[in-house]
Structures are given as C-alpha cells and as structure tokens.
Amino acid sequence: MGFKISHSNNQKKVKPFYGPVNDDDGTDGSLTLISPPDDAGYASWLIQHPSALNAFDSITKEAKWKKVVVFLDYDGTLSPIVEDPDKAFMSAEMRMAVREVAKYFPTSIVSGRSREKVKEFVQLSNVYYAGSHGLDILAPPRADKKVNEGAFQPAKLYLPAIQEISIELEDTIRDIQGARLEDNKFCISVHYRQVQPKDRETLKERVKSLVENRLEFRLTEGKMVLEVRPSIEWNKGDALNYLLDVLGFSNAKDVLPLYIGDDRTDEDAFKVIAGRREGFPIIVSSIPRDTIAWYSLRDPSEKRVFEWMDIHHFRCFFVVVEVVLYPLSFVNDSRLPNHFRM
C-alpha cells in the first residue's frame, strides 16, 4: 500500500492533556471551550462552522458527480454518550440509516472502541470497521471471496505490552470508586465519568505516572476518558487515508470523504480532509469548540445525526423537491428525471 509507519520513541513520553481544567463545565473533557455555551456564542461559532443541515445547497453542489466516501465515529455520533460505556446502543433507526447509506457509498465506522466491540454494537456486515482509533481495520466480506482478508493491525507487535500495562492500570485505579477500565485491544481506556470530581485529578496523576515511564506508550484524553495507546504515529486520520487507499481512491480527484465525529480524536481525520481541500469534515457539538471541521451538527443525539444522514443520502442523488424527500422506493421510479435515478 505504500504506508510508512513510524514508532515515536523520540517524542515526549506523555502527551499533554487536552480540554478544560474543570471536567464539570459541560464539555465532558473534550475539546477546548471557545465561549460560554449560550446561543449568542454558538451563533458566532456557526459563522466559521456552518450547520450541515443549512448548507445542503453548497454540499450537494460539490458532491454532484463525485464519489462520496463516508466515515462515522460511533460514541456521540451514532449512539448517545452514556454513563455506562457498555450500554452505548445505537437505535434501530440509526442502524437502518447506516445500512442504507452503505449500500450506495463506501462506509466506515472509525472508533476508539475495539473493532469487535463496535461491530457488536453496529451489527452491520456491509461497512468497514476501524477500531482502536484506526489501529485495527477490517473490510466487509466480499462476495467474490470465500474467506475475508485479515485485519490490518499496524500495532500488532505491541499487544503483549498492552496486555501487561492493562493489568498494571487495573491495580492502579482499583481503589478509586467509579473508575472503569475498558480493554479496546490496541487501546486501554480509563473511564472516569462516574468518578467523584474530587478524585479525578488523583486518577489522572496515577495513570500519567504509570505511563510516563513506558516509552512504548502515549497518553491522550477524550470525553471523560484517558486512553493509553501505543507510541506509533497512527490515528484516525491515518486510518482514513489507509481506507481511501484500500478503496483505490488515494490519488483520485473526484472523491469527497465525509467524516462525522464529535471527539478530539476525530480532529486527526478532519485535518486530513482539510489538507485534501475537498470533502466534508463535520463535527457534532451543541457548544462552540475549537475544531478543524468545516461544518457542524448542533444536536449530538441520534435523532439529529440520523436526520442529517438520511437527508444527505437522498440529496447526494438530487432526489429532493423543496423540503419533501422521495421515499426510497421512488429512487428508481420511472417518473423521476434520469439524473435522479440510482
């Protein structure tokens, strides 16, 4: 494929923590808060990151006659953020929307979760799965092959060390009430959403102290979670590039990647799309946040994202008359103009 993977032993041992100092300010420890989450601040932020719902004309104009490739984060995008990470279920309506989108556009679920876990949540066989922030990628089974090709795992050699540090982390946080360890195979997540505010800094310091002496790992922070990841220069942006390459689109000029995500880790993918100068990086956020994304969706709930995906699915084929969408059964209807049909 031509991908070069470097091991960042020369970088700082522990990356700085991102996000606000106060975990209770409404940001869930995610991206930097630009201004108070009021309507005036959000309206100002929308000037730089217009609503994808309100930008359909420009988006569909750019997408016309192009190959759209869809990338979706899971938590906070396809499912709500919940107290118990094991209960972040996506709705049947969302699953149906993703299934339909994947019929017409190559679609990938890119998550910090383990690939097996996110596949268990999504339950679709026609999408690509990129787990552990893109460190574990598997294509959907192909009809022309009896056996699916193996997963792409650029950090496979780190697995023994990951299993070892997982045990150490378990011992480190054992006495902190509410702390929870999640094994995502190539990424160990330490959730502290249910930890008392007074104990959160203690948890962070303990995890940081453990990781900073292990050059083979780096520490990042997401929404109420610390993530211990291999010191390999690979992220969701690299996963996006890899998947475009697998699909044969790496050098194509008529490809528009569409990426919807709500977390800091999605910024790496947004950066890749911004570098291409073509595509749709879309952040899901109800507050003003520092982001590279060009577009936004205000409501991070399933319903809002489903609404956008469902409408976009049809509008990419220009099957919209004012605000009324043709039902799926009409997409190939002979009454439609030729360029409206699939």
pLDDT score, position 60: 79
Q: Which of 146, 112, 99, 91 is nearest to 226 (CA)?
A: 112
> The domain spanning residue 251 has which CATH number?
3.40.50.1000
> The domain spanning residue 177 has which CATH number?
3.30.70.1020
Domain assignment present for residue 54? The answer is yes
Does one domain contain both 264 and 298?
A: yes
CA distances from 298 to 77, 147, 267, 269, 279 (A): 11, 42, 17, 19, 19
CA distance 258 to 255: 10
Does one domain contain both 178 and 135?
A: no
Does one domain contain both 98 and 131?
A: yes
pLDDT tens column, 203-226: 999 999 999 989 999 999 988 999
What residues are paired with 228 via a beta bridge? 188, 219
Domain assignment present for residue 10? The answer is no
- The phi-psi region of residue 53 (left if phi > 0; otherwise alpha if psi is between -120 and 50; otherwise beta) is alpha
Residue 226: which domain range? Answer: 156-230
Residue 190 has pLDDT above 70, yes or no: yes
Domain assignment present for residue 161? The answer is yes
Domain assignment present for residue 185? The answer is yes
CA distance 315 to 122: 24
Q: Which of 182, 211, 230 is the last residue of a domain?
A: 230
Average pLDDT value over all residues in the chain = 79
**What's the domain count of the chain?**
2
Does one domain contain both 148 and 59?
A: yes
Q: What percent of the chain has pLDDT over 70?
A: 74
Domain assignment present for residue 73? The answer is yes
pLDDT score, position 229: 96
Domain assignment present for residue 14? The answer is no
Quote the distance between the C-alpha of residue 109 and its chain's center: 7
Does one domain contain both 334 and 251?
A: yes
Does one domain contain both 100 and 141?
A: yes
Q: Does the annotation mark 73 as catalytic? A: yes
Does one domain contain both 262 and 306?
A: yes
Does one domain contain both 189 and 333?
A: no
Q: What does the CA dihedral 126, 130, 290, 58 come to, rounded to 10 degrees? A: -30
Domain assignment present for residue 27? The answer is no
pLDDT tens column, 27-52: 343 343 333 445 778 889 999 999 88
Does one domain contain both 170 and 109?
A: no
Domain assignment present for residue 16? The answer is no
Q: Which two tokens stand for residue 297?
A: 């969706």
pLDDT tens column, 97-112: 899 889 889 999 999 9
Q: How confident is the model at residue 335 (pLDDT cuts 50, 70, 90)?
A: very low
Does one domain contain both 89 and 195?
A: no
What residues are paired with 15 via a beta bridge? none
- Which one is catalytic: 28, 73, 238, 268? 73
Does one domain contain both 132 and 175?
A: no
Q: Which of 183, 201, 230 is the last residue of a domain?
A: 230
Does one domain contain both 221 and 325?
A: no
Q: Which two tokens stand for residue 154?
A: 């650029």
Q: Which of 189, 207, 230 is the last residue of a domain?
A: 230
